């Protein structure tokens, strides 16, 4: 069985300061991991993905995530927050081989960016 835990339901940062959104996962096999972003009243957009290649993954809008197998973590970071980063972020785990393409979503982290 696979599961995802987003450790913070809300994160608040000031504009220009670093962002850290934490995600731990559980999967029986080598998973694919994703971060999606959802702006208010919008659908979800893929930020980045990990697929067992490089452990440090770069995504859109300056976001990165590092896969740490020993810690079963896939935390999302950005060096400097922008007001437009305010949104809901979802960590997602997917195991194509054992779950027929189904994905498991974390409960989401709401990022607030203060001016």
Partner 1 sequence: DAGITQSPRYKITETGRQVTLMCHQTWSHSYMFWYRQDLGHGLRLIYYSAAADITDKGEVPDGYVVSRSKTENFPLTLESATRSQTSVYFCASSEPAGGLVIQYFGAGTRLSVL
User: Coil, strand, or helix at residue 22?
Assistant: coil
CB 65 within 8 A of CB 59: yes
Helices (H) and strands (E) counted in the chain, each on its own, are 1, 12
Considering the rule CB under 8 A, would residue 5 count as an interface residue with partner 1? no
Interface with partner 1 by CB under 8 A: which range of 14-22, 54-62, 63-71, 91-99? Answer: 91-99
Q: How far is CA 89 from its chain centroid?
A: 6
Tokens representing residue 80 in the block: 């400097």
One symbol per residue from 47 to 76: x for binding partner 1 (CB under 8 A), - otherwise; what is it?
A: --x-x-------------------------
Least separation in angstroms between CB 38 and partner 1: 8
Choose which of 25, 34, 35, 74 interacts with partner 1 (CB under 8 A): 34
Considering the rule CB under 8 A, would residue 106 count as an interface residue with partner 1? yes
> Residues with Cβ < 8 Å from 107, sequence gap 6 or more?
6, 9
Positions that interact with partner 1 (CB under 8 A):
32, 34, 36, 41-46, 49, 51, 90, 94, 96-97, 100-103, 105-108
């Amino acid at each position: 069985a696979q599961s995802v835990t987003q450790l913070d339901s809300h994160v608040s940062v000031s504009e220009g300061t670093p962002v850290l959104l934490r995600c731990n996962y559980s999967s029986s096999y080598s998973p694919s991991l994703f971060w999606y972003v959802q702006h208010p009243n919008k659908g979800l957009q893929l930020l980045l993905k990990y697929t067992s290649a490089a452990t440090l993954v770069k995504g859109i809008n300056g976001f990165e995530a590092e896969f740490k197998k020993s810690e079963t973590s896939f935390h999302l970071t950005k060096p400097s927050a922008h007001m437009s980063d305010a949104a809901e972020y979802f960590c997602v785990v997917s195991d194509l081989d054992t779950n027929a393409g189904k994905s498991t979503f974390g409960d989401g982290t709401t990022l607030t960016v203060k001016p």
